[in-house]
């Protein structure tokens, strides 16, 4: 009897010592490095510390083609993660390949979310045929950075140090020529020697004319071809007048601005931490700001994409039950704590955070946040998006045209021919 009581007591103690819940492990993949990676890891750690019943196990993979190739192959054999980051510009291809699991209203309810909580442009980019396939986390877009110190004494800086007097292409060109005449070697910098920079600037200039790249499965139909040629001609003109750098790779294009050699930079919001940190540690050497790109071609529009959260399929199935509910709990928490992501320069896609006093106090983020209402996402096509055939066309066709190897109209025709053939 004494032995039995001892065993019983030990069993009771074990019951009280054991967790009162079945812990769910959520396998997470992302492609976030540098400052983005640091911020996301901090969010993951924050979630894990608050949720002993759900723990994220994260893995960071290489950005671009390697990530999306692994996501596709792992989903096909059922060995992928439970949740992953995904560019919304890649969603059409992910849907066609059967990689992405639909996000239902029940899923959103489990996360404490609804589609009305987000900027409409981001939700539209995440939706196909009325079905949601990802939950937008941010809107990241092209912005215009400017060197306040270099613009002092010009008509382009107001009394408060804000950019002014540039609301059209003519005004932009006049400002760039003024800087050139005053000895600025490269007045405006962007990645002229790489696919991403070329595509983003081209697509912004096209969208500001009301142009569409793909309509009804056709590449640059009707007067969209003329608008595309105008966009390329504008970039070519900047190059010929010495306003932009010659074949600058990404790092070099950023360095031209950070070193004080360029007064303007066309680049993504993700470089905000670079300049913020450099200013804080005293290595930048000038005051700076960032604004939504002015309507150079007549309309407010700027290239944009979103990091989003997606649930991959597992072969012919998808996760369900308690595991799926746990994943949505993760997504909901990330959205509601997105202020920790916003200081990477991104605009939170979740409206309660984007409209919060805390976000409105962030600069220059709050200044350019208006672009979320003018975000021009890539067309919903398997040909577009990160590391897509359109990026190849930007590097191999738009780039040479910008640098004078053939005329804009010839470039447009080659783009139409190449991408139309790729659709077959």
In the block, tokens 């793909």 appear at: 214
Angle at the Cα of 391 from the Cα atoms of 135 and 219, rounded to 5 degrees: 90
The CATH code of domain 22-137+306-375 reads 3.40.190.10
Tell me what the pLDDT averaged over the chain comes to.
93
Tens of pLDDT, residues 239-271: 999 999 999 999 999 999 999 999 999 999 999
Q: What share of the chain is helix, strand, coil (3-state, %, to 5)?
A: 50, 15, 35
Query: Can you tell me the distance from the alpha carbon of 102 to that of 144, in angstroms, rounded to the nearest whole number?
Result: 36
Percent of the chain with pLDDT over 90: 91
Query: Can you tell me the distance from the alpha carbon of 275 to that of 254, in angstroms, rounded to the nearest whole number?
Result: 10
Rounded to two decimals, what is the model's pTM? 0.92
Q: Report the pLDDT value the prediction gives residue 10, as an integer from 0 to 100.
A: 45
Q: Report the pLDDT value the prediction gives residue 13, as an integer from 0 to 100.
A: 43
Residue in 121, 165, 169 with CA at minimum distance from that of residue 374: 121
103: DSSP letter: B
What residue segments make up the domains of the chain, in order of their start? Answer: 22-137+306-375, 141-304+388-423
Q: Which fold has domain 141-304+388-423?
A: D-Maltodextrin-Binding Protein; domain 2 (3.40.190)
Tens of pLDDT, residues 268-310: 999 999 999 999 999 999 999 999 999 999 999 999 999 999 9
Query: Can you tell me the distance from the alpha carbon of 198 to that of 232, in angstroms, rounded to the nearest whole number?
Result: 10
What residues in the chain have per-residue pLDDT under 70? 1-22
Give one word for 26, left, alpha or beta, with left for phi > 0 and alpha for psi -120 to 50: beta
Angle at the Cα of 136 from the Cα atoms of 81 and 53, rounded to 5 degrees: 50
Q: Report the pLDDT value the prediction gives residue 22, as an integer from 0 to 100.
A: 67
Q: Report the pLDDT value the prediction gives residue 14, as an integer from 0 to 100.
A: 42
Query: Can you tell me the distance from the alpha carbon of 145 to that of 132, in angstroms, rounded to the nearest whole number?
Result: 34
* Common-topology check for domains 22-137+306-375 and 141-304+388-423: yes
In the block, tokens 């913020």 appear at: 276
């Amino acid at each position: 009897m004494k032995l039995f009581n001892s065993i019983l007591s030990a069993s009771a103690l074990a019951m009280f010592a054991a967790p009162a819940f079945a812990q769910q492990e959520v396998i997470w993949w992302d492609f976030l490095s540098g400052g983005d990676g640091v911020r996301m890891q901090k969010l993951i750690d924050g979630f894990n510390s608050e949720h002993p019943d759900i723990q994220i196990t994260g893995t960071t993979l290489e950005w671009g083609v390697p990530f999306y190739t692994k996501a596709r192959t792992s989903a096909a054999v059922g060995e992928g993660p439970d949740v992953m980051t995904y560019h919304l510009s890649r969603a059409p291809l992910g849907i066609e390949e059967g990689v992405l699991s639909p996000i239902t209203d029940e899923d959103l309810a489990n996360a404490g979310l609804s589609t009305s909580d987000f900027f409409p442009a981001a939700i539209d980019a995440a939706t196909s045929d009325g079905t949601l396939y990802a939950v937008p986390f941010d809107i990241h877009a092209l912005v215009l950075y400017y060197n306040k110190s270099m613009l002092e004494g010009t008509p382009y800086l107001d009394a408060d140090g804000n950019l002014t007097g540039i609301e059209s292409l003519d005004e932009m060109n006049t400002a760039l020529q003024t800087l050139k005449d005053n000895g600025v070697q490269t007045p405006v910098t962007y990645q002229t020697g790489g696919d991403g920079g070329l595509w983003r600037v081209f697509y912004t200039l096209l969208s500001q004319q009301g142009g569409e790249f793909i309509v009804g499965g056709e590449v640059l139909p009707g007067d969209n071809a003329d608008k595309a040629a105008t966009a390329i001609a504008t970039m070519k003109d900047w190059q010929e007048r010495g306003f932009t750098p010659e074949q600058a790779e990404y790092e070099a294009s950023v360095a031209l601005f950070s070193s004080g050699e360029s007064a303007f930079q066309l680049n993504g919001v993700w470089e905000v931490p670079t300049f913020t940190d450099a200013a804080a540690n005293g290595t930048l050497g000038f005051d700076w700001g960032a604004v939504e790109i002015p309507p150079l071609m007549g309309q407010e529009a700027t290239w944009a994409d979103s990091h989003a959260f997606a649930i991959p399929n597992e072969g012919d199935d998808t996760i369900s039950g308690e595991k799926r509910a746990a994943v949505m709990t993760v997504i909901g928490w990330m959205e509601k704590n997105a202020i920790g992501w916003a200081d990477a320069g991104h605009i939170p896609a979740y409206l309660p955070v984007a409209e919060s006093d805390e976000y409105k106090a962030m600069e220059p983020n709050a200044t350019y946040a208006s672009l979320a209402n003018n975000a021009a996402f890539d067309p919903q096509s398997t040909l577009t998006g990160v590391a897509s055939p359109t990026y190849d066309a930007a590097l191999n066709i738009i780039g040479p045209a910008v640098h004078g190897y053939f005329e804009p109209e010839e470039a447009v025709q080659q783009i139409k021919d190449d991408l139309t053939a790729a659709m077959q």
